[in-house]
Amino acid sequence: MRALVARAARVPPRVEEVILPAPGPDEVRVAIRAAGICHSDLSMVNGTLAPPYPLVLGHEAAGVVRTVGDRVDRVRAGDHVVLNWAPPCRRCWHCRHGEPWLCAATGAPGTPRGTSAADGAPLHVTLGLGALAEEVVVAGNAVIPVPADLPSELAALLGCAVLTGVGAVRRTAGVAPGDAVAVIGLGGVGLSTVAAARAAGADPVIAVDLAEAKRGLATAAGATDFLVSDETSTRSVRALTGGRGVDHAFECVGRAATIRLAWRATRRGGQVLVVGMGAKDDVLELGALDIFHSARVLRSSVYGSSDPDRDLPELARAASDGSLDLTTLITDRINLDEAPEALHRMARGEGARSVVLFEETGEPARGRVHSAPA
């Protein structure tokens, strides 16, 4: 079976043969049909994050269940599913207090039982999934059924970009009709945030990005205005909002500089929402008087403050019936061998979402499936 593997930080990942175990009693095996290239995958290889290596990349994907363990009852073979990189345990303090997106048991790279390279060396997997692969073996609670008629390339986006962006608008910020919104950074998450803000009735919805090429994508997603980010961006945002600034600024990059831009573009009493994941040594500085005087709220939105088991099926139904248009988010449809170049394009700020497509037969696109003994 083939998968995209990163061997070390700042070393280009490559497609390798890997070996999967047979599912344990609480696990499922899924044939991947589509997998998105997410900025978090780039962060795993460019030094922003420091995961254990070697690492199978990928965490935004959809596929078809092939086999299930004896104790799995939420899906069965043949079900179409979206992978969930943050399945809540439902037992920790955060889960019991209505914050499953902060679950203490999820979100860390792991080494599923028996997953290994072709030479038998153990492999870690991104966020418990390693979904840029022809197949995966994952925990039974890490899959969520979706309608079979929902195209896999759209279903894949639900697992990260869409749930994060839509959740940030609906769950974290609570955007209301007539609110002024700015979205900084127009990758898959940023464009999902734009679309959700517009659907919530926000006006204006101001999209900001370094690349002029993102203008058309922003407009298609629902932005009322587009700005190329520069030293005049704050003044431009305020000019579009009667001089006040926006009610909600969504920072979808994960950098101190863009968080400061979001802060300055927000009105007194508004809120700044950090949706992008940044580096631990990229320090944000704000003046104590500024914090007091502006009365702004600075908060993050982890996974869109969403409960995937509740929110993802709702989004899947909306995407399936056409009331949620996700087609504008996909700028490149590629195969697995083209995934390393897609990461380079993302690093250059090009496009929105590249989606790796696999054959629709339920069998791997190429190569033979290896299964270790149960």
Q: Which pTM was predicted?
A: 0.90
Verify that 210 and 299 share a domain, yes or no.
Answer: yes
If residue 320 lies in a helix (H) or strand (E), which one and from where to where? helix 308-321
At 196, which CATH number?
3.40.50.720
Verify that 223 and 361 share a domain, yes or no.
Answer: no
Verify that 41 and 152 share a domain, yes or no.
Answer: yes
The pLDDT, as a whole number, for residue 112 is 62
Rounded to the nearest integer, the mean pLDDT of the chain is: 92
Q: Which of 285, 303, 321 is the last residue of a domain?
A: 303
Question: Beta 181-184 vs 205-209: how paired, if at all?
Answer: parallel
Verify that 340 and 248 share a domain, yes or no.
Answer: no
User: For residue 61, what pLDDT band results from cuts at 50, 70 and 90?
Assistant: very high
User: Domain range spanning residue 107?
Assistant: 2-159+305-372
Verify that 123 and 133 share a domain, yes or no.
Answer: yes
The pLDDT, as a whole number, for residue 91 is 95
Verify that 330 and 230 share a domain, yes or no.
Answer: no
Selection from 263, 233, 227 nearest residue 248 by Cα: 263
Residues in the chain: 374
Verify that 26 and 141 share a domain, yes or no.
Answer: yes
In whole angstroms, give the CA distance from residue 158 to residue 330. Answer: 12
Residue 88: Cβ within 10 Å count: 21
> Is the separation of the CB atoms in 185 and 252 below 8 Å?
yes
Is the pLDDT at 120 greater than 70? The verdict is: yes
Mean pLDDT value across residues 41-68: 94
Mean pLDDT value across residues 212-236: 96
Is the pLDDT at 33 greater than 70? The verdict is: yes
The pLDDT, as a whole number, for residue 217 is 95
In whole angstroms, give the CA distance from residue 143 to residue 352. Answer: 25
> What is the DSSP code string of 34-66?
EEE--HHHHHHHSSSS---SSEE---EEEEEEE
Mean pLDDT value across residues 342-349: 92
The pLDDT, as a whole number, for residue 36 is 97
Q: Which of 303, 332, 349 is the last residue of a domain?
A: 303
At 95, which CATH number?
3.90.180.10
In whole angstroms, give the CA distance from residue 25 to residue 323. Answer: 38
Q: Which of 260, 279, 303 is the last residue of a domain?
A: 303
Verify that 336 and 244 share a domain, yes or no.
Answer: no
Q: Which amino acid is at 6?
A: A
Q: Integer distance in angstroms from the first to the last C-alpha of the chain?
A: 17
Verify that 148 and 170 share a domain, yes or no.
Answer: no
Q: What is the number of domains present in the chain?
A: 2
Is the pLDDT at 6 greater than 60? The verdict is: yes
3-state helix, strand, coil in the chain (%, to 5): 30, 25, 40
Verify that 44 and 193 share a domain, yes or no.
Answer: no
Verify that 188 and 270 share a domain, yes or no.
Answer: yes
Verify that 226 and 356 share a domain, yes or no.
Answer: no
